[in-house]
Amino acid sequence: MKILVIEDERKLADYLKKGLENHSYSVDCVYDGEAGEKRAAMGEYDAIILDLMLPVKDGIEVTKDLRIRGVNIPILMLTARGELEDKILGLDSGADDYLVKPFEFQELLARIRALLRRPIAKVGEELKAQDLTVYPNKYLIEQNGKKLDLTLKEYAVLEYLVRHKGEALNRERIFDHCWDWTVDSFSNVVDVYIKRLRDKLNDKNEKYIKTVRGVGYQFQE
C-alpha cells in the first residue's frame, strides 16, 4: 500500500513517513499543496494524508480539485485545533476523514486502515447500483440493460450519486462536484436535476434517489 503525505511541517512529515514505513506502507512526502496535488493525480497512491494549512494551495483546494479531476483516492485531512471550525465546518471539501493535531500515531494508523478497507471505485471502472450500470469511459448509464437518454450534466449528477450510493449527500456537495466554479449560486439547480433524473429513471417512489430531509439526496443501494 502506498501513501502520499502532503504536509509542510517537515518534522511531522518525516515522523509520519517513518511510522508508516514501520507498518509496511510505502510513503512519499510532498511539502506544498500544488506539488502534492500533482503527485496525487498521478494516481498510484492508495491513500493521501493531507494537511489543511499548506503553502501555495491549501488542503481544501487540493481535495476539491482532485475530486473534480475524478481522483477518488481516500483522503485523511489533518487540521490544527481551531482550523476545523473556521475552515471546514459546514463545508464539505470531499475529504473522507479528519484528524485534529496533535494526534496519537496509533489513531492515525487506525484511520488509515479504515480508509483502506473502504471499497473505492476506480475512475473509469464500471459502477453498478440496483439495475443501473454506469460506464464512466463512455458517459453512458444503462437501466436494466437499456441506455438512458441523459445530457452530460444529468449523467454527471447520476454518476456522482451512484459512485456514492448509500451516502446522504448534501446539495452543496453534489453541486461542487458537478458544476464548475463560474456558476456562482447553486440555488435550486441540484433539485431541478434530481427531478429530471427521477423522471428519466421513472423513479416515482424514490426507489433510486431518496430525499434525505435536512441534508439532500441519497442513492439507494
Q: 127: which strand partners?
A: 134
When CB distances to Ca ion are compared, the closest residue is 53
**CB of 115: closest distance to Ca ion in angstroms?**
20
CB 178 within 8 A of CB 156: yes
Write the CB contacts of 147 (distance below 8 Å, at least 6 apart in sequence): 140, 141
Q: List residues near Ca ion by CB under 5 A.
A: 8, 51, 53
Q: Which of 8/34 has CB closer to Ca ion?
A: 8
**CB of 58: closest distance to Ca ion in angstroms?**
9
**CB of 19: closest distance to Ca ion in angstroms?**
18
Q: 57: which strand partners?
A: none
CB 133 within 8 A of CB 173: no
For 144: left if phi > 0, alpha if psi spans -120 to 50, otherwise beta; the answer is left
CB 39 within 8 A of CB 32: no
Q: Which of 57/210 has CB closer to Ca ion?
A: 57
**CB of 52: closest distance to Ca ion in angstroms?**
7
Please tell me whether the peptide bond between 102 and the residue prior to it is cis, using omega within 30 degrees of 0. Answer: yes
SS3 (DSSP) at 146: strand
The CA distance from 173 to 36, in Å, is: 23
Q: Which of 1/53 has CB closer to Ca ion?
A: 53
**CB of 74: closest distance to Ca ion in angstroms?**
20
- DSSP state letter for 8: S
Q: Which of 8/191 has CB closer to Ca ion?
A: 8
**CB of 56: closest distance to Ca ion in angstroms?**
11
Q: Which of 27/162 has CB closer to Ca ion?
A: 27
Residues in the chain: 221
